[in-house]
Every structure is written in C-alpha cells, then in structure tokens.
C-alpha cells in the first residue's frame, strides 16, 4: 500500500474514535450477533477458501476455525450486553459514608492488531470482536501469507453495521508495520507471533502492548492416567496443523511404570497421520520451516533419542515425528519447534516431571492426565504457565477463557473479557451527597 493510503486509513481511524466510543452496548452487541450469523451461514465456503489460500491448512482444520470464530463473536456479543461496569463500595470507609461509586471501562483508543499466519481467521477475530465490544477502532495488519481472511472479516463487520472508518486492513512490509507501531494515534498494539513481539514492546514502552507469543507445550502422564484417552488426545494435539500451533503438545513426560504402554498406544495414534496415510497431515508453511524442524530431529537423534516414526522431509512436507527417550540436553525439550514433532520422556516421579516442565523460559498451556484429584491440583499449583489443563492436552482451549503466556511466551491475555480489559482502562465515578 502507498504511504498516502496508509495515512488516510489511520487518520480516519483516529477521527472515528470519539464516535465509536459513544456507541451503545446494544448496538455493539447487535453488530457482533450479525457477524456470528453471517460467518455461520457461509461456514463451509469460508473454510474452503482459507484452505486454498494458505496451501498448508486443511479444510477440516479451517472448518473448526470458522466454527470457533462464530463462537468468538457470539461470546463477545454476550459480554457486550452484560457490560463492563461494576459497583464500588466506597462507603466501606467511614469518611465515604453516603457516597456511591461505580467503575466503567472506557476504550483507550484505536488498536493496531498484528496477526500470525497459523490462524488466518481466528486470530484477527480475537482482536476485532473485543474491539467492537469495547467500542474501539481497529487496524489489522495480517500475515502476508493469508491476508484475505482479515479482509473478509472487515467487509462483514461493516456490512453488519460497524462504521467503515473504524476498521482497516493494511497490507504492509516490516518497515511500514514498525512505523505504525510507533504511531502515537494507535495507543494499543496487540501482537500475535514470534519473538519480535518483545522488540515491539521495547520500542514503545509507554503504549499498551499485548503479546501472544510461542510456547513449548508439555503434558504429564501419571501412572494412574487413562492411557487410551491421553494417547488419542495428545496425538491430535501434537500434530494439529502440522504442529504449527503455539499450544501444540511438543513434550510428553510419562511416569516410568506406564511409559512403554503409553508409547505403544501413542505411536498407533500417530501412524495414520503419516504421509499417504488415511489421516495424513498437511505440509508446513514452507520448506525452510520444515528444514528447521528436521534439524531439531537430527539433534535429538544424535543425542540418543529413538525415532519411533517419521523424521523424513520432502520440501515442506515433514512426516509426523515421535522421539522416544528424550532428555533435557536435546534442543527440542527447550525450544519451540512449531512443527510436527513430539518428544516423549520417561520420568521417575510427578515431581521430576514438573521440574522438567518448568525448565523453559515461558509457557502458555500445559496438561496433566491423572485420576488423582490431589495430584492434579498439586501439579496445577506448581506448574508455571498461563493455563493448566487437567485430563486434557496443552492445546485445549475455549475462546472466552483467559489465554496467554508467562515469561517469554507473552504479556497480557486474550479471551473476550480479558482482551476487552487489554483495550480499555477503568474510570471511577464517585457521587457524594451534598452537604447539609
């Protein structure tokens, strides 16, 4: 896009902020409801278009993505109706006797949303729906690999009644994107992607910056776990979108007494996903990404891991790979792979597994399978992560739960209410009685 076109879009967005802020909760909710209905009505055609544009995301994955996007707009509409205000009991203090207080959240200003390629529709929706609920204009900068989904969302939200000047989709290179990050008319930056997010945060320390970055998802399999369930769900969670998910299961720690039994069940679940199999996975985003993951496989095998299946690469296709006997010295146990690779490690106890799970610089979600409520809550208490899924894999998510990482994995939270809180700030209003 030309610099003139970008400037016109941002100027319109900034000028629209006061108008959008004054819209009612009723109007915002109605727009969000219309968005949900619009997307649901074209679910299969949208899913097919997403799969075709990307070339590396399957129709079944994209069908679920559209379904979840519908839920995002439904949930945002419900939250907009409930409202964001709360009563404050200021008269809890003696000198405030007779006073009444309430807190309302007001939009900080226009939002810059920068999105990643692995969720072409859902990630922009997690920025657009809360922005509408909050009453804030939004400019989306989508991944250049999959820009059409963001454009489609913008078209549909305008058709649903959102002012055209309050949403923009800008196709920009890195330099132009960084210029927008620094633009004072965009006081909020919501970024989904890789480590460059921390550079963005450092560039604009006075802005409200939200980061949703990568993770090294782990699952703990206790000796009393339902192994069939764990194997089935961890296989799906490890290789969904060819492992190109920030909460993909990458590490599995299994208590020694059930290690062999779990491995056999897990590998059986992965076998149909091999290239040419009945449930073969899709390619990675490009050949360079597949080669990067192949180097992690070679590193692990060179350090003693056993290749149970997979490990072969052809251009962007990398076979679903399971590594056995993984140890802390292997890079795959400490660095996000973002590809179709799962490393399985036997552990002597739950405590040693928790120590290993925590031995990374940042985490979004981890999971634990166990029949013991005591073990489940003990692990949940000790594991450092944005979320702990009990009897589920690290990838388990519904879109109104708080979602984000600890440490290097992110800053702030998504999830309708929590994203609205990122985009707004509280204002306290106190009403005092007049003096006699």
SS3 track for the chain: CCHHHHHHHHHHHHHHHHHHHCCCHHHHHHHHHHHHHHHHHCHHHHHHHHHHHHCCCCHHHHHHHHHHHHHHHHHHHHHHHHCCCEEECHHHCHHHCCCEEEEEEEECCCEEEECCCCCCCHHHHHHHHHHHHHCCCEEEECCCCCCHHHHHHHHHHHHCCCCHHHEEECCCCHHHHHHHHCCCCCCEEEEECCCHHHHHHHHCCCCEEEEECCCCEEEEECCCCCHHHHHHHHHHHHHHHHHCCCCCEEEEEEEHHHHHHHHHHHHHHHHHHCCCCCCCCCCCCCHHHHHHHHHHHHHHHHCCCEEEECCCEECCEECCEEEECCCCCCHHHCCCCCCCEEEEEEECCHHHHHHHHCCCCEECEEEEECCCHHHHHHHHHHCCCCEEEECCCCCCCCCCCCECCEECCEECCECHHHHHHHHEEEEEEEECCCCC
pLDDT tens track for 218-245: 999 999 999 999 999 999 999 999 999 9
**Residue 272: pLDDT over 90:** yes
Per-residue model confidence (pLDDT) at position 407? 95
Mean pLDDT (the chain, rounded): 96
Measured CA angle at 199 (ends 193, 205), to 5 deg = 115
Q: 107-146, pLDDT tens digit by residue?
A: 999 999 999 999 999 999 999 999 999 999 999 999 999 9
**What does the block give as tokens for 402?**
């708080």
Residue 122 CA to its chain's centroid (Å): 9
Tens of pLDDT, residues 360-383: 999 999 999 999 999 999 999 999
**Nearest-angstrom CA–CA distance, 419 and 413:** 6
The predicted pLDDT at position 139 comes to 98
**Distance set, CA 414 to CA 212, 371, 386 (Å):** 8, 30, 11
pLDDT at 46: 97
Q: How confident is the model over 51-73, as a mean pLDDT?
A: 95
Q: How confident is the model at residue 83 (pLDDT cuts 50, 70, 90)?
A: confident
Tens of pLDDT, residue by residue over 141-181, are 999 999 999 999 999 999 999 999 999 999 999 999 999 99
pLDDT value at position 277? 82
Report the half-sphere exposure of 19 (CA within 13 A, side-chain side): 12
Residue range 217-390 in CATH 3.40.309.10: yes
CA-CA distance, 57 to 284, in Å (whole number)? 9
Taking phi first (over 0 means left), then psi (-120 to 50 degrees means alpha), and beta for anything else, what does residue 193 get?
Answer: left
At CB < 8 A and 24+ separation, what contacts does 81-88 make? 81/25, 81/26, 81/29, 83/25, 84/134, 84/420, 84/424, 88/428
In this prediction, residue 276 carries a pLDDT of 82
Rounded CA separation 54/62 (Å): 10
Residue indicated by tokens 């192994």: 227
How far apart are alpha carbons 30 and 36 in whole angstroms?
10
pLDDT of residue 1: 83
Do domains 3-213+409-431 and 217-390 share one topology? The answer is no
Q: Which fold has domain 3-213+409-431?
A: Aldehyde Dehydrogenase; Chain A, domain 1 (3.40.605)
What's the angle, vertex CA 292, arms to CA 290 and CA 298, rounded to 5? 100
* C-alpha dist (Å) from residue 65 to 34, 158, 208, 233, 258: 18, 21, 28, 18, 35
Q: Report pLDDT digits (tens) over 305-325.
A: 999 999 999 999 999 999 999
CA distance 322 to 309: 6
Nearest alpha-carbon partner for 190 in 210, 215, 208: 210
- The fraction of the chain above a pLDDT of 70, given in percent, is 100
pTM of the model: 0.95
221, 257 contact by CB (below 8 A): no
Mean per-residue pLDDT for 411-436? Answer: 94
In this prediction, residue 145 carries a pLDDT of 92
Domain positions in the chain: 3-213+409-431, 217-390
| Contact assessment for residue 326 and residue 332, using Cβ atoms and an 8 Å cutoff | yes
Question: Residue 169 and residue 155: Cα distance in Å, rounded?
Answer: 10
Q: What local confidence, expressed as pLDDT, does residue 316 receive?
A: 96
Q: Please state at what angle helix 416-423 crosses helix 59-82, rounded to 10 degrees.
A: 60
Per-residue pLDDT at 197: 97
Q: From CA 249, how far away is CA 376, in angstroms rounded?
A: 18
């Amino acid at each position: 896009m030309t610099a003139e076109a970008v400037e016109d879009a941002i100027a319109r967005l900034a000028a629209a902020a006061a108008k959008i802020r004054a819209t009612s909760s009723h109007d915002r909710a109605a727009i969000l409801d219309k968005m949900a209905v619009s997307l649901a009505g074209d679910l299969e055609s949208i899913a097919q278009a997403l799969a075709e544009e990307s070339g590396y995301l399957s129709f079944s994955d994209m069908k679920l993505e559209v379904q979840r996007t519908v839920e995002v707009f439904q949930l945002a509409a419900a939250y907009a109706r409930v409202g964001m205000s709360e009563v404050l009991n200021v008269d809890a203090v003696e000198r405030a006797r007779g006073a009444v207080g309430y807190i309302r959240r007001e939009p900080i200003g226009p939002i810059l949303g920068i999105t990643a390629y692995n969720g072409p529709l859902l990630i922009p929706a997690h920025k657009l729906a809360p922005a509408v609920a909050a009453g804030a204009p939004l400019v989306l900068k989508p991944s250049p690999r999959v820009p059409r989904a963001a454009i489609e969302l913008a078209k549909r939200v305008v058709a649903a009644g959102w002012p055209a000047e309050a949403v923009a989709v800008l196709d920009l290179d890195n330099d132009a994107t960084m210029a927008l990050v620094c633009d004072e008319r965009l006081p909020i930056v919501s970024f989904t992607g890789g480590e460059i997010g921390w550079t963005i945060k450092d560039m604009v320390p006075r802005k409200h910056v939200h980061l949703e970055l990568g993770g090294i998802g782990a699952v703990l399999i206790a000796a009393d776990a339902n192994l069939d369930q764990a194997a089935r769900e961890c296989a799906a969670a490890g290789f969904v979108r060819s492992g190109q998910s920030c909460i993909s299961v990458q590490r599995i720690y299994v208590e020694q007494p059930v290690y062999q039994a779990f491995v056999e069940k897990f590998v059986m679940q992965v076998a149909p996903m091999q290239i040419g199999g009945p449930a073969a996975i899709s390619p990675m985003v490009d050949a360079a990404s597949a080669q990067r993951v192949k180097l992690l496989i070679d590193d692990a095998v060179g350090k003693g891991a056993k290749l149970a299946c997979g490990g072969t690469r052809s251009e962007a296709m990398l076979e679903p790979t399971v590594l056995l006997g993984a140890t802390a010295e292997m890079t795959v146990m400490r660095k996000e792979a973002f590809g179709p690779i799962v490393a399985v490690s036997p552990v002597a106890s739950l405590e040693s597994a928790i120590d290993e799970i925590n031995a990374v610089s940042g985490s979004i979600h981890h999971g634990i399978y166990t029949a013991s409520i005591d073990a489940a809550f003990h692990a949940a208490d000790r594991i450092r992560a944005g979320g702990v899924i009990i009897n589920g894999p690290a990838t388990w998510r519904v879109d109104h739960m708080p979602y984000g990482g600890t440490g290097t994995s992110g800053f702030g939270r998504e999830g309708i209410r929590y994203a609205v809180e990122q985009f707004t700030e509280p204002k306290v209003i106190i009403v005092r009685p007049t003096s006699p």
